[in-house]
Chains A and B, each alone.
Chain A
């Protein structure tokens, strides 16, 4: 309390302390006014800072702050008006320089004035709610110079003209430009934006609108992109040179909008040089440039992606549906792989591995691969070709690479079960004929399929390998047990015992085996059933092969590699030299289509015609006669007589496979329905269809109509029932 009183008292005393000369204020102000004049006239070095500060301090102390402040405003304003006139008088190119010089002067002067009026700034200005001296000086400069009617427009036009001149390749005084823009920035964001940025952006938009129009008329797409990229870089560089970084993003937006966004579609679809041509010609640089530029504008990338996708689908569709091109399955798949490699490379080199582009690529492949219902078969044939022979020359890593690529195509397939079906057939052929080039590679692919589709998918394929291995053991055991009874000259037998179900089912029509063979077979059967009781063996004569030693007319010996059927036919000629078709058919009991095919390859293929046919013709007729061809010659000791079997499936075979696949799908769909219903108990039709589709899509795409049929069948068998009220609902019956 006492302190409070004391303080009050002292302040009171202080007020009355100094007696003043009535003219004191006027006199003091004159000194300061003169000093301000001198400062503007570059004569500050003759002034005493201490004296001026003391005077200003005293004026404020003696309540003349208002007089001091308004005096400052008046003096500075009149001074700036003079400057304004001088700047206006500057001719042409000197205008900016004069303005800049005056600005430098004003800033220095303002600094000094602020220093001597520091006390006023600190005490009077806040309490009287005036603008601080520095801001006051900038505001006065803004109002009297930059925004004076005769200067404002001229300044704007001069700046824009300089920008324009620089854009057209002239060299301008960037330092001056930078200083003036710096000045505008110091005068506040509002001044900078209104007096420079906005007109600058408007003019730039006009400029680039015209320029882009000009470019797009005369340049091709790649050329245009280069120009646009250069312009963008130039503008970024320009704003940084002008110290107008704040406008960097905006000017880039302008250029992006005018040069790219407005011409996006036209650029992408430009004839002879647009995106499609770049893709065709693998123009990685151009593509990469396009990607980077389009990435800057909204919707840019999707414009590229859309065109790429539709082009991919278009060409892909042509590729897979062209009947010419699907003649050779291996080439067909190779073309797909090449296509994929090409686009993978483009995406990684030019599109910075953009995920959305990869998805678009995958989507396109998935779309068109499935357009051709034979794609699964062809892919399997491609694998067959690679695993059969092609890989003998290539290293293991290369095998892996090829297999990985095949797996990628496999992923696109919707009907994976169809692939499985064919793959099984082809694998069976490879294994049984011993044509598989590398066990390693076979297994590696199986592992890949397993990781992709799960254990279920490959269990049967693995079963096939197991059978092959056990058969080897069985054969060893058989010959060990028979060693005593085996005699020279007897045919040696190799049996592969195949588990039913693991292998592609074949109609088991057994033919009549020649007695020599039949005996050995019976012995094997006895041996096998003796060691494995409760099993049944049936001979798959359609799948075997045989090596025959034959002696021809001039005594030349050959070893003939033939199928089991062909062996049966040839063995007949041991006892007679001539046989009719009917006789052969009767003796062997080979099914007619197979028999015809065998005879065709024995009698009609040049260089391998161990039989002679009468009459000579390409096709086998039922009344043809066959003779042993004594005059057969070949430069090889071993002669392989292939079956005239199309590598690709024929139309009826295809139908049959398709039907089998459909048949196989039924239990899978039913199982899926039951699994779903078991957990959900009650579900409506549409949801069942979606869930089933989801569950099975890793193997195939079930047809909703088929699903409906399966549901009905399950209702019949009382797994499900329809809800009594809502007929669309199904209920699970446990």
Chain B
């Protein structure tokens, strides 16, 4: 299990912190957790999923000081990271962009989290 992130109080007010879990499907015990610091406003602007995650009145949006957990499959990990990169940067990394299968993975992740701009971007790349 993961403790709360160490950061200055003031920054906490304006940012959402969440942890990245990776759980291989068959082996429940082998969970891997990655902690990322993200800006909730940026993600919410890009994706209705994140918008609701941070606002719709369920656990994640109510416990503002503890980490928000997002579970993904191991096979999705790279794509999800790339999607987050896109949310901030507006483009994919060069390695990803050059590999159609990687782009396809990102597209799938973008579809899952409803990041319209990324879906469009990937469609153009493909």
Q: Which of A48-56, A73-81, A598-606 forms contacts with chain B?
A: A48-56
Q: Which residues of A contact B8 (CB under 8 A)?
A: none
Contact A10 B49 (CB under 8 A): no
Q: Mark B83-126, 1 if CB is under 8 A from A, else 0.
A: 00000000000000000110010001000101000000000001
Contact A115 B71 (CB under 8 A): no
Interface residues on A, range: 20 to 34
Docked CA distance A211–B60 (Å): 60
Residue from A3, A14, A46, A112 in contact with B56 in the complex, judged by beta carbons closer than 8 Å: A112
- B24 contacts A by Cβ under 8 Å: no
Contact A50 B100 (CB under 8 A): no
- A7 contacts B by Cβ under 8 Å: yes
Contact A115 B114 (CB under 8 A): no
Q: Which residues of A contact B53 (CB under 8 A)?
A: 49-50, 53
- A44 contacts B by Cβ under 8 Å: yes
Q: Mark B51-62, 1 if CB is under 8 A from A, else 0.
A: 011001111111
User: Using a CB-CB cutoff of 8 Å, which residues 9-25 of chain A contact chain B?
Assistant: 10, 14, 17
Q: Which residues of B contact A51 (CB under 8 A)?
A: 71
Docked CA distance A57–B104 (Å): 18
Docked CA distance A3–B108 (Å): 17
Q: Which residues of A contact B56 (CB under 8 A)?
A: 49, 111-112, 115
Number of A-B residue pairs at CB separation under 8 A = 59
Most-contacted residue by chain B among A7, A17, A53, A112 (CB, 10 A): A53
- B69 contacts A by Cβ under 8 Å: yes
Docked CA distance A417–B76 (Å): 106
Most-contacted residue by chain B among A3, A46, A49, A118 (CB, 10 A): A49
Q: Which residues of A contact B61 (CB under 8 A)?
A: 49
- A119 contacts B by Cβ under 8 Å: yes
Q: Which residues of A contact B104 (CB under 8 A)?
A: 7, 10, 14
Contact B101 A47 (CB under 8 A): no
- B68 contacts A by Cβ under 8 Å: yes
Interface residues of B: mostly helix, strand, loop or mixed? helix
Docked CA distance A49–B58 (Å): 6
Q: Which residues of B contact A112 (CB under 8 A)?
A: 56-58
CB distance from A138 to the nearest CB of B (A): 19
Docked CA distance A14–B73 (Å): 14
Question: Knowing A54-B71, A115-B52 touch, does A49 contact B59 (C-beta < 8 A)?
Answer: yes
B59: nearest chain-A partner, CB-CB: A48
Contact B58 A47 (CB under 8 A): yes
Docked CA distance A7–B107 (Å): 12
B68: nearest chain-A partner, CB-CB: A50
Q: Which residues of A contact B59 (CB under 8 A)?
A: 45-49
User: Using a CB-CB cutoff of 8 Å, which residues 83-126 of chain A contact chain B?
Assistant: 108, 111-112, 115, 118-119, 122
CB distance from A432 to the nearest CB of B (A): 99
Please name the 5 residue pairs, one residue from A and one from B, whose CB atoms are nearest each other, closest first.
A49-B58, A115-B52, A115-B56, A47-B58, A10-B104
Question: Knowing A118-B52, A119-B112 touch, does A50 contact B126 (C-beta < 8 A)?
Answer: no
- A535 contacts B by Cβ under 8 Å: no
Q: Which residues of B contact A355 (CB under 8 A)?
A: none
B52: nearest chain-A partner, CB-CB: A115
Contact B57 A7 (CB under 8 A): no
CB distance from B100 to the nearest CB of A (A): 5
